[in-house]
Structure 1
Amino acid sequence: MRNLECSERKIEFDYKGGKGIFIRQGRGKATLKIKYRGAYGMGEKYDAVNQKGKKVINEVNEKFCFQGDKTYCPVPFFWTDSGVGVYVDTCYTSTFDFREEEIIIETPLDCKMVLFTGKPKEIVSSYMKIFGEATLPPEWAFGVWISANRWDNEELALTQIERLKAYDFPATVMVLEAWSDEATFYKWNPGKWNHPKEMIDRIHDAGLKLVLWQIPVYKKMGQEEADNEQNRLDEEEALKHHLCLYEENGEPYRIPEGNWFAGSLLPDFTNPRTYQSWFAKRQDLMDMGVDGFKTDGGEHIHSEHVKFHDGSNGREGKNKFARDYTSAYKKFVGKDKVVFSRAGFSGQHTISIQWAGDQQSRPEEMKSVLKAGLSAAVSGILFWGFDIAGFAGPLPSMDLYRRATQFACFCPIMQWHSEPDGGQFKDLMAGSSGENERSPWNIAKAYNCPEFIDEMRYWHKLREELRPYIYATAKKCVKENTPMMRPLFYQFPEDENGLNCEDEYMFGEDYLVAPFI
């Protein structure tokens, strides 16, 4: 491992198959002269696992479905089949141009680059060690997760326990998204959730853990929404005590129009007072027995002129905010709980479980998800999952649901989830009319095929049988800094047949997985 400071001078070093790295004037441009056939990493990449021939802009983006070359969780780190890897130690947006026999990296002038040599396992492990040990999820996180946005009241939530029992499906985690007042995101909706503590106890008694949805905003209420006094008080407190982010001109930063949660303020998690205030209001949830949080969003910095309490600005904050946000939740929940995150950045393996975000229920989306999972894995993200068969748009076909379930059975996290009935963004893309839930029994009902439930039960029970193996593998992966999903070019670097194989992987040491999607 070598550290390089960006400057005007030429810096030479020896590594397998290469000649040197050149730093030029300007923003900071490093040219790596190298013969290589594959460049891997760069975070959760939906367009390809091998990034050779592509120009990658490494920044956090919120993209609803069909992510393409955008990503929620970028990582400024790559490695090549020729035995060299590079990590750019900056939160600023950096650009990586993977050309035929050179790789051009554009960075801020004051950043550091860390170079690695060796085999894939050695390079990825060395990168991970910069940040520390990966966070090991509790054993229960490796069972089946069940989720649907339409579960927006206590009765519907408890009905899922009855359905799991009636259909004889194992599960270990229930995720509730539409649980809050939709104003503070720490208070239950009193008209729909009358006895939350008793409900949580019943969920636990059924052998399930409970994860609640979160979003990092002081929400601006819409014109069609009722006034919420606590929401107003929270915003007043944030402005009075500078708990939120500000622009350089002294005005509070609000999410621009055209973006998710437009007009809302953002908490500044680099301010200790913000942390104290934010999580004091969520302590009641922990006291009730909540087992973790689904930290959605985090891709909300759309201005270079944002100022953070710790002195950072919007140019670095675009990537840094996601890490600040999820790190704060990890600190809050402590051990034996989970943070389940969409957005992230470098070092994310020390913080949270990642999921692949928003996809439509279409085969091409599942192919992109597979690429995202494998690229995330070789970027040091050990624990990852996706919404089985996609969560948005019309219901998936039985065939797509079948194939996606089989794929998910051999992923670190296995979860089914769905957007609200009718679609999350109805004006952009309508969902299925009627019940939009992606549960196995609702898919069977929609296609009038009751035997489909029996077929899906097999894969859920297989997952439960695999759980001891998966957890043992997870512990070993944390100890050895190795991913659970291991592409063939990572696991068998001497085998040239695996160089561009983007649809197969080893799941731990024992299972070769080839999802047929």
Structure 2
Amino acid sequence: MLGRLRGLGLLLAVSCLALGLPAALPAQARASGEPPAAAPPRMTATAGGLALTVPPSGHAPGYVLDVTTAQLGLTTRRSGTSVLATAAGDTGALRFRLGGEWQHATEVTGWTWRGGTLTLTADTTAEGVTVQARITPSADRYALEWNVQGAAPDRLGLAYDLKSAGHWYGHGEAETPQGGPGTDQPWPLDSGEVVHPAFGPASYDMIDPFWYTSSATGLRVDTGHVMDVSVNAGKDGLGRFDIRSAEPYKATVFVESTPLEVYRDYVGIVGKPAKSDATYEQYATPVWNSWAQFYTHVDQARLLDYARDLHDNGLGGHTLQLDDKWESDYGNMTFDAKAYPDPKAMSDKIHELGFGFGLWVTLWINLDSDQYRYAADHGYLLKDAADPAKPCTVTWWNGTAGIVDLANPDARAWYVGRLDKLMGTYGIDGLKFDTRFFDDTCAPHDGYRPTDYQRLGAELADRYDLQGVGIRVHWDTTAHRAGFVTRQVDKGTGWNSLRASVTQNLALSTIGYPFVTTDMIGGSSSEPPPSKQVLVRWAQSAALQPLMYSSTSPVDTIDVTTGKKVVYDRETIDLYRQAVARHERLAPYIWDQVRQTLKTGDPIMRPLFFDYPQDEAAYTITDEWMLGPAVLAAPQLTDEATRTVRLPPGVWYDVGHGTVIHGPRTLPGYATPLGVTPVFVNLGAKGAAKALRAFRDPDIPPAPSKTTTK
């Protein structure tokens, strides 16, 4: 009898597996506390097509992927609710460009479910051309790979109905018709328009092919090719993710319970930082860079005057960097003798004032540099993609140049040797690498791909102290794992750029670059200097971010559009110094977050909904963020006297008023005179005690005994 019962149990288990149903575990396994084994995905036919069901497993919520067959479409459902759907109608889900015209998959003509992969065949709007797609599900995601058969298109793309997934985030620095990324960064992305051609690994924009949504889904496109990306272009409600290639389109769609879990899934693929490239001191105090202060109108006397003004007004920092332009010609790696008669003495004086000394460098060698012909003759430059017999030339903001080929070991050794000699001769402590390591008009070295140059650039930069200004490498997993500070693209000097600097950091930190800094405080972009209000508010905002990257002096600066000096008042200096002091007191708390990021990969500066996914109001807030789990920053980013503050669930200490507030709660009309920066501490969060100690200290340090104003 017992044997027959055991046999029936085995038969029942086998039958359940065949039907895609979970089988009961033996009592012994249940008693041991082990979780039940996950049931396998199963396929069923529906009235409109097919349903691929992936049961919940562990922390994964499970999902159903509905495949419509009249016109191939994919709709992901979780708990019975649609959380992501491809575009329908004339746009189509799986699309391709053939002969300059866009086509798309239509009726599904065949399918198989074998070995855990669903294979679909579909007709298309192009006669005689078909699409084959393969979908491989797992607990919290599915892989989608598809290709075109019977033709050779020049582009393959996916298109989604944006509203099906709620709001969209990710992408990185977004090009927009409204001036992005310099003056505009919509957050969420669908609240504006993103029109981003040439979205690829060689772009100067900091970008990754990863997007995630408020419905806790995400899309990663696995490609090394250039893409054309648009999100709500022309307010059309669509997301288009097109690759300039006929190779099979490979993507991963994540399905999770919260956006933070989607982010963690993505980081699980690309990698978390193995270290922090910046030191504790570089998190704690600002780096001062000469660019927005002088642009290219800089010389030894001006730089030393700048350093003395900062020092004498108590505006210290760990480093002073000389940006563009110091070379006699771009690529020479020699100081312009007229502008810099004694570079070593200049370096020594900067060190005497308490700063490290840094220098701007590039791999781009201008054609008029005396090093260009040497590099070209020795094969040290990238070759032209159209004519590999000659060097590739690129036009940039300082002329026309060739690019050192880092994949050529001799070229790399030559470049590194010149850098090291320069640094040793003049006592240079670190470098700011600028420009790109590759250009799409160039041909990669034999055996290399364009994406490899992100890795090669990261490996080069990792040899040197980047002094907290970081570097702009992306896309390749080496960039994620190197732990560089990520600095933004140049911003303007107005309120719109200040706001864009915040939403852009939220975008960058949530695509796997957690050590973010804004563009130079106050902006640049060859615009008139920031007003007093913009400069102060920018410093206050940056003080509540991981690092402070400074340039425009709150003492005085030059209006690049007129050549005239602009002098700020004593209050500007005091409030800027207050922001620096607040950030330095926060450094122990921030450093704790750096170390936590090295363990988990989670971003330090992050949107409220990462910590509070159930708070619906958090998904469209553009001017607040969490700095680690305990600090909520809500600085004033407009020229207004008040602002609205949203506090998620929790018990919050209002630093400005010394009161305790129970959330969730919205605070309208919170007063924000120029000296006030709203900030709150979640008293129940890890790190709250350390954050409270930082905020309870006096905000304004005493003015130095010796001051210099002009």
Letter in 2 for 1:165: H
Selected match of 2:279 from 138, 141, 155? 138
Paired residue for 2:564?
Answer: 434
Letter in 2 for 1:106: D
Paired residue for 1:228?
Answer: none
Q: Does 1:415 align with 2:544?
A: no
Separation (CA, whole Å) in 2 of partners of 1:80 and 1:248: 40
Cα deviation, residue 219, structure 1: 0.9
Separation (CA, whole Å) in 1 of partners of 2:166 and 2:241: 17
Cα 1:324–1:238 shift into 2, 3 Å: farther
TM alignment of 1:62-81, pairs within 5 A: 72-81=205-214
Unaligned 5+ segments in structure 2 are: 1-59, 61-115, 121-130, 175-180, 638-710
Separation (CA, whole Å) in 2 of partners of 1:356 and 1:365: 11
Say which is worse superposed, 153-162 or 398-407, in terms of deviation.
153-162
TM alignment of 1:351-362, pairs within 5 A: 351=482, 352-362=484-494
Cα 1:96–1:21 shift into 2, 3 Å: farther
Separation (CA, whole Å) in 2 of partners of 1:202 and 1:29: 56
Selected match of 1:329 from 453, 457, 460? 460
Give the total of aligned pairs: 474
Separation (CA, whole Å) in 1 of partners of 2:117 and 2:342: 56
Selected match of 1:371 from 503, 511, 519? 503
Separation (CA, whole Å) in 1 of partners of 2:213 and 2:118: 18
Deviations 1:16-58 (A, max 9, x none): 7x99957352543345689311221112234313223756546
Q: What is the TM-score with the length of structure 1 in the denominator? A: 0.80
Describe the SS at the equivalent of 1:124.
helix
Separation (CA, whole Å) in 2 of partners of 1:271 and 1:183: 21
Cα deviation, residue 387, structure 1: 1.4
Q: Does 1:183 align with 2:351?
A: no
Letter in 2 for 1:499: Y
Q: Does 1:296 align with 2:427?
A: no
The answer on whether the counterparts of 1:269 and 1:328 sit within 8 Å (CA) in structure 2 is no
The answer on whether the counterparts of 1:275 and 1:328 sit within 8 Å (CA) in structure 2 is no
Paired residue for 1:389?
Answer: 522
Q: Does 1:220 align with 2:220?
A: no
Selected match of 2:588 from 465, 468, 472? 468
Cα deviation, residue 356, structure 1: 1.7
Separation (CA, whole Å) in 1 of partners of 2:633 and 2:119: 41
Structure with more strand by fraction: 2
Deviations 1:95-149 (A, max 9, x none): 4455799855333424543443433333323323434442401112211121223
Letter in 2 for 1:23: W
Cα deviation, residue 169, structure 1: 2.1
Paired residue for 2:357?
Answer: 210
Paired residue for 1:193?
Answer: 340
Separation (CA, whole Å) in 1 of partners of 2:469 and 2:411: 19
Separation (CA, whole Å) in 2 of partners of 1:3 and 1:10: 6
Describe the SS at the equivalent of 2:364.
coil
Selected match of 1:511 from 608, 627, 631? 631
Describe the SS at the equivalent of 2:365.
coil
Q: Does 1:496 align with 2:616?
A: yes
Cα 1:410–1:339 shift into 2, 3 Å: closer
Separation (CA, whole Å) in 1 of partners of 2:429 and 2:267: 27
Larger radius of gyration: 2
Cα deviation, residue 14, structure 1: 6.4
Paired residue for 1:241?
Answer: 379
Selected match of 1:252 from 390, 400, 404? 390
Q: What is the TM-score with the length of structure 2 in the denominator? A: 0.60
Letter in 2 for 1:280: G
Q: Does 1:406 align with 2:540?
A: yes
Separation (CA, whole Å) in 1 of partners of 2:402 and 2:172: 28
Separation (CA, whole Å) in 1 of partners of 2:143 and 2:404: 43
Unaligned 5+ segments in structure 1 are: 63-69, 222-230, 424-430, 436-441
Paired residue for 1:94?
Answer: 227
Cα deviation, residue 234, structure 1: 4.2
The answer on whether the counterparts of 2:119 and 2:135 sit within 8 Å (CA) in structure 1 is no
Separation (CA, whole Å) in 1 of partners of 2:595 and 2:543: 18
Identical positions, percent: 20
Describe the SS at the equivalent of 1:113.
strand
Cα 1:32–1:41 shift into 2, 3 Å: same
Separation (CA, whole Å) in 1 of partners of 2:303 and 2:237: 56
CA RMSD of aligned residues (A): 3.6
Separation (CA, whole Å) in 2 of partners of 1:3 and 1:443: 67
Cα deviation, residue 466, structure 1: 1.8
